[in-house]
Structure 1
Amino acid sequence: MSQSISQSTTDKVRWTAADLELFPENGNRYEIIEGELLVTRAPDWRHQKASTRISTALDTWSLSTGLGEAVQAPGLVFTAADNVIPDVVWVSRERLAALLDEAGHLTGAPELVVEVLSPGSENERRDRELKLKLYSERGVQEYWIIDWQRQQVEVYRRSQALLRLVNTLFSPDRLLSPLLPGFSYPVSQLFQ
């Protein structure tokens, strides 16, 4: 009897996408990575400002080139146990239709994912470790982490089947990407 009790107390609850339907609409953001539930509060003003600015820049570039689409806070459902809400994604026109399910969620890796860090060690762990690993495993080609507190952008690119840090950009630098020919955005504008 004591064996089953000690086992049940050490078993970890594995959350799924179906469980997310049960949570209230209360301003919190609920995500699941490898069955682990991650709850964050609504992002603050500086977070949303940086997210809106990069999304707008990517959207403007996309409209002018016709090469893809940028969206803020889409549902990204890789599996029932891996369901996240990145701050911004960019998907090429060629891949978009194949990635959308009937509910309008992305079910595969967009080419580019952007996360804006929120303050706190748990938030940093989520974006720098858990999401980096998830996006790497699922085939994201490029991952940008915008850190408005340090006023920098970390750029990860796929190399040898993994996302690897290739550059840390600061205010005088410009965001460029081989995925986005001709795209150029001053890092300083993210933090003005």
Structure 2
Amino acid sequence: MTVAVFDHEGPWTEEEYLALGETQQRVELFDGSLHVTPAPTPRHQNISGELRSALRGPCREAGLHVLEGVNVRLRPGRIPIPDLVITGPIDFDEVNVEARDVLLVCEIISPSNAATDKVLKMHYYAAAGIEWYLLVEQDNGTLHLYRRQGRHYREISVTKAGERLELTEPVRAMIRPADLLP
């Protein structure tokens, strides 16, 4: 991938981005530019795995899917890789999950990437019509749940250590921040 990235001139197309194939880094496409981040930390991965585990049963019962680290096509040329998504029925052999099939998107805030998760991706996810956005703070597991209101999100709840988040949509689930931390 390194040679292909550094030898590339001009904006990236979606086709060029997809031709990079699987990589060790997270490579996202935002309007012709690549956003490359290193692999997540073990803490980040632990939170993601515990959250997926907490949502797996409720999603199955509701006929939904919970997936980690998949391409989500928000629109042509805009493909982030959220930490976790809840989807309705999808084609598991497609390289991208379409935004219209995503019911909830989750980002675990990395200290080096906080602005991207709190501002850029939040804006892009809302503009793409994804109804629910869950932000997780890595250091203490605090959960920030947002619901789309027009082309923006409105914070619905903040759940801290010692408390529990009771989701009623898009699935019924209970999540305790303390259970997410290593």
Q: Could you say which TM-score interval applies, normalised by the shorter chain?
A: 0.7 to 0.9
In structure 1, C-alpha distance between the alignment counterparts of 2:47 and 2:144, rounded to whole Å:
14
In structure 2, C-alpha distance between the alignment counterparts of 1:27 and 1:56, rounded to whole Å:
23
User: Where does residue 188 of structure 1 map in the other structure?
Assistant: 178
Q: Which runs of 4+ in 1 moved over 3 A?
A: 21-26
Displacement of 1:71 in angstroms is 0.8
The higher radius of gyration belongs to: 1
Which of 127, 131, 150 aligns to 1:141? It is 131
Aligned Cα RMSD in Å?
Answer: 2.2
Instruction: Indicate how the Cα distance of structure 1 residues 101 and 53 shifts in structure 2: closer, same or farther if over 3 A, else same.
Output: closer
In structure 1, C-alpha distance between the alignment counterparts of 2:173 and 2:149, rounded to whole Å:
21
Instruction: Indicate how the Cα distance of structure 1 residues 161 and 129 shifts in structure 2: closer, same or farther if over 3 A, else same.
Output: closer
User: Where does residue 42 of structure 2 map in the other structure?
Assistant: 45
**Secondary structure at the counterpart of residue 134 of structure 1:** helix
- What TM-score do the two structures reach when normalised by structure 1? 0.80
User: Where does residue 67 of structure 2 map in the other structure?
Assistant: 71
- What TM-score do the two structures reach when normalised by structure 2? 0.84
Which of 110, 115, 127 aligns to 2:107? It is 115
Instruction: Indicate how the Cα distance of structure 1 residues 125 and 14 shifts in structure 2: closer, same or farther if over 3 A, else same.
Output: farther
Displacement of 1:47 in angstroms is 0.3
User: Where does residue 85 of structure 1 map in the other structure?
Assistant: 81
Q: Is the Cα contact below 8 Å between 2:140 and 2:161 reproduced in 1? A: no
Identity of aligned residues (%): 23
In structure 2, C-alpha distance between the alignment counterparts of 1:106 and 1:25, rounded to whole Å:
15
In structure 1, C-alpha distance between the alignment counterparts of 2:99 and 2:30, rounded to whole Å:
15
**Secondary structure at the counterpart of residue 184 of structure 1:** strand
User: Where does residue 176 of structure 1 map in the other structure?
Assistant: 166
Displacement of 1:134 in angstroms is 0.5
